[in-house]
């Protein structure tokens, strides 16, 4: 009994993880049941290109975001250069722009007669053909510039908060900056970097919008095609399992490489960190290097959306727009709060007893790599079962039939968001909890605090950075989410993302720009709050 009580937080963590795991499991158990197997057809035709394309996307997105994220994070964390105070948080802004919006914008700008094509022609004084953005290169470009902020944020956090004293020591010991970078900063930042890259990879794999618009055959498109178009859930299941195994492999490899290293850091404040100064030319170079991702990932798309919106503003119906706005905002807010709550309890449970709670938490975070459409169906199945249960119960004892209660309501949608985005909140919470040294826990225990008060008084406070980050990232992602929202939404609920998508699919990019711009603006609000946090 005492053992149970002692590990009660771990068990709570397990229970919460299981709630999220159920739809994930159902997708697979259910998928291997029946159905017409088109696996051979897939194998002989498109499977190889799915694998090749997805791998290419994965590898190059990971590399690209790593390079951009780490470089800018290092420059911003270590040096002083002109306008660094602004660039520091401007670098985060691409998160406000949905990746599919980036695809719409650049495919248009680089098209025949597109603004960028004309500009390049002018600059090199030669007529150039349209650049074909509808290719895998276009997709890689989009993923790199819309996802690098994940790596940037986590790397920056790691460099600043963690490495402070170590870097000073290294400096005093006479190491030059490059060696400090390779020998001290990067190894210490490894869990953060890997965490960021894994997020990027999962988001790349789960993406549907960009691949669909640019015409790339990826695994997710294959899953979607098999399941929804061919009605072959068995093949969809097989494809999904391959996807998940890939992700699990990546995560496991990272764990093995990490070995037994513990990654908590010193608790001393690093506010007195002495930034390195740069001479004028290096300073400007640093500024330019850091500005490029901001310009490509945020400024150009943002400006384009504004221009398109101004051109189509006459078509807008204000009532409907306000409705959309409120719905999107409330959904995103609710979802992020639920995700953070789950994440905090799960991660804390893992911390108290990682042997019990750990594996479940790992599996629960896999939801992020499941494509939204698949997650939506995975959520539908248990909820309909539950709904039918409730319905039958009420019918039997009270003779009322209320139809579907949970499905077709906000509950189903929020549940799907939880399954999809728990990983995001878990990663942020984990990366900040991990910096709270275990010694603090032990000391608190020795002094008689219960697990509950440790969570409230210590971790929640010290991990506030990670918690806020988690809230933010989930909020933004839910605001941008498309497929799961389309499938599960109740009557009368539409979101900005759906509206934008419908216009874009009808090739009315001008009309799509207004809801897209609204999404960007709403995302900017929490990002500016985050930016304030960064500046301190």
Partner 1 sequence: MKKINIFMIVVLSIFTIGKCWSEEVNLYSARKEHLIKPLMELFEKESGIKVNIVTAKASQLHQRILREGKNSPADVILTSDAGNLWKAAEAKFLQPINSDILINSIESKYRDKNNLWFGLSLRARIIVYSLDRVQENELKGYRFLSDPIFKNRILIRSSSNIYNQSLIAHMIYKYGEENIELWAKGLVNNLARDPAGGDRDQIKAIAAGIGDIAVVNSYYIVNMLNSDKRALFDSLGVYFPKDNEMATHFNISGAGLLVNAPNSDNGKKLIEFLVSEKAQKIYAYTNFEYPIDKAIDIPNELKNLGTYEEDSTNVYEYGELSYKAIRLADRVGWK
Q: What track of x and - describes contact with partner 1 for positions 395 through 434 (by CB under 8 A)?
A: -------xxxx-xxx-------------------------
Instruction: Give the nearer residue to partner 1 in terms of CB position, either 130 or 253.
Output: 130
User: Which one among 215, 267, 445, 529 touches partner 1, defined by CB under 8 A?
Assistant: 215
> By CB under 8 A, is residue 507 in contact with partner 1?
yes
The H or E element containing residue 81 is none
Determine the interface stretch with partner 1 among 35-43, 240-248, 334-342, 427-435 (rule: CB under 8 A). 35-43
Nearest distance from residue 522's CB to partner 1, in Å? 21
**Unique residue bearing structure tokens 């299981």:** 18
Determine the interface stretch with partner 1 among 39-47, 289-297, 432-440, 444-452 (rule: CB under 8 A). 39-47
Count of alpha carbons within 13 Å of 409, Cβ hemisphere only? Answer: 10
Count of CB atoms within 10 A of residue 515's CB? 26
> By CB under 8 A, is residue 503 in contact with partner 1?
yes
> By CB under 8 A, is residue 513 in contact with partner 1?
no
Instruction: Give the nearer residue to partner 1 in terms of CB position, either 282 or 393.
Output: 393
Nearest distance from residue 344's CB to partner 1, in Å? 22
Which residues in 263-292 contact partner 1 (CB under 8 A)? none
Instruction: Give the nearer residue to partner 1 in terms of CB position, either 223 or 347.
Output: 223
Q: What track of x and - describes contact with partner 1 for positions 291 through 310 (by CB under 8 A)?
A: --------------------
Evaluate whether 498 touches 486 at the Cβ level (below 8 Å). Answer: yes
User: Which one among 52, 505, 525, 529 touches partner 1, defined by CB under 8 A?
Assistant: 505
Instruction: Give the nearer residue to partner 1 in terms of CB position, either 225 or 435.
Output: 225
Instruction: Label residues 409-441 b or e (16+ Cβ within 10 Å = b).
Output: bbbbbbbbbbbbbbbbbbbbbbbbbbbbbeeeb
Q: Kindly tell me the sign of the dihedral angle through the C-alpha atoms of 168, 171, 173, 179.
A: positive
User: Which one among 12, 337, 356, 486 touches partner 1, defined by CB under 8 A?
Assistant: 486
Nearest distance from residue 401's CB to partner 1, in Å? 8
User: Which stretches of 13-123 are assigned E, i.e. beta strand?
Assistant: 79-80
Q: What track of x and - describes contact with partner 1 for positions 347 through 386 (by CB under 8 A)?
A: --------------------------x--xx--xx--x--
CA distances from 89 to 84, 98, 297, 431 (A): 9, 18, 13, 20
User: Which one among 6, 29, 32, 45 touches partner 1, defined by CB under 8 A?
Assistant: 45
Instruction: Give the nearer residue to partner 1 in terms of CB position, either 208 or 302.
Output: 208
> By CB under 8 A, is residue 221 in contact with partner 1?
yes
Distance between CA atoms of residues 24 and 29, nearest Å: 9
> By CB under 8 A, is residue 481 in contact with partner 1?
no
Determine the interface stretch with partner 1 among 68-76, 440-448, 471-479, 489-497 (rule: CB under 8 A). 489-497
User: Which one among 227, 345, 348, 421 touches partner 1, defined by CB under 8 A?
Assistant: 227
Cβ neighbors of 323 (< 8 A, separation 6 or more) are 494
Here the tokens at position 167 are: 């870097």
Nearest distance from residue 223's CB to partner 1, in Å? 12
Instruction: Label residues 108-121 b or e (16+ Cβ within 10 Å = b).
Output: bbbbeebbbbeeee
Contacts 24+ apart (CB under 8 A), 261-269: 262/438, 263/188, 263/190, 263/191, 263/434, 263/435, 264/434, 264/435, 264/436, 264/437, 264/438, 265/161, 265/162, 265/163, 265/188, 265/435, 265/437, 266/164, 266/165, 267/437, 267/440, 268/164, 268/165
The H or E element containing residue 448 is none
Determine the interface stretch with partner 1 among 11-19, 357-365, 466-474, 492-500 (rule: CB under 8 A). 492-500
> By CB under 8 A, is residue 214 in contact with partner 1?
yes
**Unique residue bearing structure tokens 């640019």:** 214
Instruction: Give the nearer residue to partner 1 in terms of CB position, either 134 or 181.
Output: 134
Distance between CA atoms of residues 449 and 500, nearest Å: 51
> By CB under 8 A, is residue 43 in contact with partner 1?
no
**Unique residue bearing structure tokens 């409120």:** 326
Determine the interface stretch with partner 1 among 228-236, 247-255, 347-355, 433-441 (rule: CB under 8 A). 228-236
User: Which one among 156, 459, 480, 489 touches partner 1, defined by CB under 8 A?
Assistant: 489
Evaluate whether 509 touches 102 at the Cβ level (below 8 Å). Answer: no
User: Read out DSSP for 159-224?
Assistant: IIIIHHHHHHHHHHTT--HHHIIIIIIHHHHHHHHHHHHHHHHHHHHH--HHHHHHT---HHHHHH
User: Which one among 15, 80, 118, 230 touches partner 1, defined by CB under 8 A?
Assistant: 230
Instruction: Give the nearer residue to partner 1 in terms of CB position, either 187 or 490.
Output: 490
Distance between CA atoms of residues 308 and 320, nearest Å: 19
Which residues in 89-148 contact partner 1 (CB under 8 A)? 107, 111-113, 130, 132, 134-135
User: Which one among 23, 195, 237, 483 touches partner 1, defined by CB under 8 A?
Assistant: 483
Evaluate whether 356 touches 11 at the Cβ level (below 8 Å). Answer: yes
User: Which one among 88, 203, 207, 217 touches partner 1, defined by CB under 8 A?
Assistant: 217
User: Read out DSSP for 255-318?
Assistant: HHHHTT-------S--TT--PEE--HHHHHHHHHHHHHHHIIIIIHHHHHHHHHHHHHGGG--H
- Can you give the binding site for partner 1, defined by CB under 8 A? 38, 41-42, 44-46, 107, 111-113, 130, 132, 134-135, 213-215, 217, 221, 225, 227-231, 373, 376-377, 380-381, 384, 387-388, 390-391, 402-405, 407-409, 483, 486-492, 494, 498-499, 502-503, 505-507, 511
């Amino acid at each position: 009994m005492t053992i149970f009580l002692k590990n009660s937080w771990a068990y709570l963590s397990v229970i919460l993880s299981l709630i999220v795991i159920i739809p994930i499991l159902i997708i697979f158990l259910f998928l291997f049941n029946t159905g017409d197997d088109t696996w051979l057809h897939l194998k002989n035709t498109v499977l190889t290109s799915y694998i090749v394309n997805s791998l290419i996307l994965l590898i190059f997105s990971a590399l690209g975001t790593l390079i951009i994220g780490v470089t800018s994070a290092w420059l911003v964390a270590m040096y002083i250069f002109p306008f660094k105070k602004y660039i520091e948080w401007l670098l985060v802004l691409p998160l406000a722009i949905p990746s599919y919006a980036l695809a719409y914008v650049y495919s248009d700008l680089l098209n025949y007669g597109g603004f960028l094509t004309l500009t390049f022609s002018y600059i090199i004084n030669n007529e150039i053909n349209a650049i074909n953005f509808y290719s895998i290169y276009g997709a890689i470009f989009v993923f790199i510039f819309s996802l690098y902020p994940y790596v940037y944020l986590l790397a920056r956090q790691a460099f600043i908060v963690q490495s402070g004293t170590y870097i000073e020591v290294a400096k005093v010991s006479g190491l030059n900056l490059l060696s400090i970078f390779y020998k001290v900063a990067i190894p210490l930042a490894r869990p953060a970097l890997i965490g960021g890259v894994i997020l990027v990879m999962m988001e790349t794999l789960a993406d549907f919008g960009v691949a669909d618009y640019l015409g790339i055959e990826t695994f997710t498109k294959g899953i979607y095609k098999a399941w929804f178009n061919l009605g072959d859930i068995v093949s969809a299941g097989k494809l999904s399992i391959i996807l998940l195994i890939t992700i699990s492999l990546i995560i496991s490899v990272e764990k093995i490489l990490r070995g037994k290293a513990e990654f908590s850091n010193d608790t001393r404040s690093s506010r007195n960190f002495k930034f390195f100064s740069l001479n004028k030319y290096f300073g400007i170079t640093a500024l330019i290097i850091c500005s490029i991702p901001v310009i490509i990932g945020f400024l150009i798309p943002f400006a384009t959306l504004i221009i398109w919106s101004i051109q189509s503003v006459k078509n807008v119906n204000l009532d409907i727009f306000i409705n959309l706005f409120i719905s999107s905002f409330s959904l995103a807010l609710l979802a992020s709060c639920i995700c953070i709550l789950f994440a905090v309890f799960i991660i804390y449970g893992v911390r108290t007893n990682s042997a019990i709670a750990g594996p479940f938490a790992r599996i629960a975070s896999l939801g992020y790599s499941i494509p939204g459409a698949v997650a939506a169906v995975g959520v539908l199945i248990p909820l309909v079962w539950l709904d039918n249960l409730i319905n039958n119960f009420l019918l039997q004892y009270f003779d009322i039939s209320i139809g579907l209660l949970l499905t077709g309501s906000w509950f189903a949608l929020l549940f799907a968001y939880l399954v999809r985005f728990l990983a995001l909140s878990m990663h942020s919470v984990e990366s900040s909890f991990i910096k709270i040294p275990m010694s603090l826990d032990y000391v608190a225990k020795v002094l008689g605090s219960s697990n509950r008060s440790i969570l409230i008084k210590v971790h929640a406070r010290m991990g506030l950075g990670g918690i806020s980050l988690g809230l933010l990232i989930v909020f933004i992602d839910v605001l941008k989410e498309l497929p799961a929202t389309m499938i599960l939404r109740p009557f009368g609920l539409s979101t900005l993302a759906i509206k934008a998508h419908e216009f874009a699919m009808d090739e009315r990019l001008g009309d799509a720009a207004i809801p897209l711009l609204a999404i960007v603006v709403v995302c900017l609000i929490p990002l500016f709050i985050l930016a304030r946090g960064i500046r301190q």
